[in-house]
Amino acid sequence: MGAIAHDWYPSHVPDGVVLGERTWVDSSIAFIHHRSVRRPSVWVGNDSGIYRGTYFDLGAQGEVRLGNYTSMIGAVISTGGRVVIGDYVFIGYGTVLADLGEAVPPHSRERLGSRAPAGREISIGDNVWIGTRVTILGGTEIGRDAVIGAGAVVDAMRVPPGTIVAGNPARIVGSVERS
């Protein structure tokens, strides 16, 4: 991929990252913890935005797919497995998507090697709104048109399409009305 023309950070976007047309990436520092050998390791659709403070913390087999017209600001995606995010998704500031049950610094993961537990996939459908400071853990499947309330902790939950979830632990608190 190479360098980002407007970037303040003296690095480049890793080879395994594929960015769609008119997609914005604030800085290559978003990939400072990218260690995936997959090709592609990060695939971002067209017209999407990866804004300030977003980080992709990918292990050797980590893979992230973001759809078209998807935006995230200040989010952290930490995966040794797979995270799939649909089209027209908004991920609010300070949100963490992590497929492992514990937080392990990158240098410690390298020492764990093959003893590190395998992650569980995170799947987010189209047209989902995720509020600020949400935590989404492995094994979670969020259906299309869902809303995740600020500060929610979603752990291995199946969120039905068109529902609103909130709380810690997250629970269904309503449904999205359509007009």
Parallel, antiparallel, or unpaired for β 153-155 and 96-98?
unpaired
pLDDT per residue over 128-155, tens digit each? 999 999 999 999 999 999 999 999 999 9
Distance, first Cα to last Cα, the chain: 42
Look at residue 2 and tell me if it is in a domain.
no
User: Could you tell me which residues are beta bridge partners of residue 148?
Assistant: 130, 165
As for how many domains the chain has, the answer is 1
Greatest pairwise CA separation for the chain in angstroms? 53
Question: Counting runs of H as helices and runs of E as strands, what totals does the chain give?
Answer: 1, 20
113: DSSP letter: G
Query: How crowded is the C-beta side of 136, counted as CA atoms within 13 Å?
Result: 34
Residue 131 backbone phi and psi in degrees, to 5? -70, 180
Per-10-residue mean pLDDT of the chain, 179 residues long, equals: 86 94 96 94 98 94 96 95 97 92 53 54 98 96 98 96 97 87
Q: Taking a C-beta distance cutoff of 8 angstroms, is the pair 164, 146 a contact?
A: yes
| Angstrom distances, CA of residue 19 to CA of 79, 154, 176 | 19, 28, 31
Look at residue 45 and tell me if it is in a domain.
yes
Q: Taking a C-beta distance cutoff of 8 angstroms, is the pair 114, 75 a contact?
A: no
Q: Taking a C-beta distance cutoff of 8 angstroms, is the pair 44, 63 a contact?
A: no
pLDDT at position 120 is: 86
Handedness of CA 23, 72, 78, 108 (dihedral sign): positive
Amino acid at 151: G
Look at residue 163 and tell me if it is in a domain.
yes
Here the CATH number for the domain that contains residue 170 is: 2.160.10.10
21: DSSP letter: T
pLDDT at position 89 is: 98
Look at residue 179 and tell me if it is in a domain.
no
Segments forming the whole domain that contains residue 158: 17-174
Look at residue 8 and tell me if it is in a domain.
no
Look at residue 9 and tell me if it is in a domain.
no
pLDDT per residue over 6-22, tens digit each? 999 989 999 999 999 99
